[in-house]
Structure 1
Amino acid sequence: MKMLTEAVTVVSRAVRQGKSARKIFKKAGFLIPFGNDIDHIIDLQLGGANVLSNFALLDSSVNRSLGAQIWNQIKNLPIGTAINKVTIGER
């Protein structure tokens, strides 16, 4: 959350073209431990890129929860809306 809050982020269309984050990460020689996902540090829906430098390993359940929570907070905002703080609640 710290990285998201410190980054310049805007509500964006999450375009998933080309290779998946998982394929890019594995092709670069990294292993993905069981129970982990490749997470976009800056979510695609907040203007992040689908590139190796924007990937990190994250527990699968945490990753999927974070993306959904962000989507629920921004879904009614216009594309291009600047986001200056990201907060996530506990489940």
Structure 2
Amino acid sequence: MSDVNVFHIKENMDVDDDGNIIVTCPECENEISMPFSNILDDSMALVEYTDCPVCHKTLDQVHPSESLNKKIADHVAKELLNGLELDLGKLLSKR
């Protein structure tokens, strides 16, 4: 089995000019910013509930921004390709 490089969401979040992280509201899907310290862990649960400034729903969790979703997708694609290359290499070496 090959080594898997874990993608840590909190380490790859986008930051705005004020030093806040950019996330997406799970209700209205608008991008909002908040302090990094309010994100509990990679589940993106919030330490303190907050109201979305766009739809005004009270949030206990947020979603990745569009940019972060692209980073996650790129990471997953690279890991899949690495796994396929290793599997193909093993198959070819058995011949």
- Establish whether TM, by shorter chain, passes 0.5: no
> Whose Rg is larger?
2
TM-score after normalising by structure 2: 0.26
Q: TM-score, normalised by structure 1?
A: 0.26
Higher relative contact order (CA 8 A, sep 6+): 1
Structure whose residues are more often strand by fraction:
2
